[in-house]
């Protein structure tokens, strides 16, 4: 078994423990029963150095998932999605996400999409949207979550935020970084989020 595969197996096990610890995740979706290893190649980005240096404070429940994510970072297929025109140069250097499981994930699933995202301190992720419904869970650090038509929430480890289909939302970090584990359900799982026009 390759190091990458063993590391991702540990991450998937830690993600399942996280899922079992958070009722909001269990209510959002069943744990997928169609997971198969997809063997996607690593795509390193500068976000790895920032995540490694400043992963943010976890709590007792999220620490094992945070540490499994740190171990996986060098092997992950990191994506940036946005252009410099949309989010700026600094954002693209200190942000990144990868798909642990889903239609184009390290583990293939058609039932759900599980992604991991990181933002360094002092970043603003402007209003964006997507068809699938979404549940953010905060693994470490903190962020301010804004959603059209709902109250703004500042969330730390163990916090969750639900985003309805195509409802624009945004987030920002202040003095701490933010590491999140995100679930998507519903139609359009393979599409990327897009900035709200």
Kindly list the residues in this chain that would bind Fe ion in the complex (CB under 5 A). 134
User: Is the CB of 99 or the CB of 134 nearer to Fe ion?
Assistant: 134
User: Is the CB of 7 or the CB of 129 nearer to Fe ion?
Assistant: 129
Nearest approach, Cβ of residue 169 and Fe ion (Å): 6
Give 162's contacts (C-beta < 8 A, 6+ positions apart).
Answer: 24, 28, 133, 134, 135, 136
- How buried is 125 (Cβ within 10 angstroms: 0-12 exposed, 13-18 middle, 19+ buried)? buried
User: Is the CB of 52 or the CB of 152 nearer to Fe ion?
Assistant: 152
Nearest approach, Cβ of residue 44 and Fe ion (Å): 24
Contact indicator for 5, 37 with CB cutoff of 8 Å: yes
- How buried is 34 (Cβ within 10 angstroms: 0-12 exposed, 13-18 middle, 19+ buried)? exposed
User: Is the CB of 8 or the CB of 136 nearer to Fe ion?
Assistant: 136
Residue nearest to Fe ion (CB): 134
Neighbours of 189 (CB within 10 A): 20
Nearest approach, Cβ of residue 41 and Fe ion (Å): 25
Nearest approach, Cβ of residue 136 and Fe ion (Å): 7
């Amino acid at each position: 078994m390759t190091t990458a595969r063993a590391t991702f197996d540990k991450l998937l096990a830690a993600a399942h423990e996280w899922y079992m610890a958070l009722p909001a995740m269990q209510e959002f979706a069943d744990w997928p029963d169609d997971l198969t290893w997809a063997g996607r190649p690593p795509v390193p980005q500068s976000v790895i150095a920032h995540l490694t240096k400043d992963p943010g404070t976890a709590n007792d429940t999220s620490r094992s998932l945070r540490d499994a994510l740190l171990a996986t970072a060098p092997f992950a297929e990191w994506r940036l999605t946005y252009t410099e025109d949309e989010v700026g140069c600094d954002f693209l250097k200190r942000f990144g996400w990868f798909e642990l499981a889903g239609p184009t994930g390290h583990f293939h699933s058609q039932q759900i999409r599980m992604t991991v995202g990181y933002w360094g301190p002092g970043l603003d992720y402007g209003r964006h949207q997507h068809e699938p419904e979404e549940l953010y869970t905060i693994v470490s650090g903190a962020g301010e979550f804004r959603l059209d038509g709902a109250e703004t929430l500042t969330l730390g480890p163990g916090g969750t935020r639900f985003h309805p289909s195509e409802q624009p939302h945004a987030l920002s970090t202040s003095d701490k970084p933010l590491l999140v584990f995100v679930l998507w359900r519903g139609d359009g799982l393979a599409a990327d989020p897009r900035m709200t026009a």
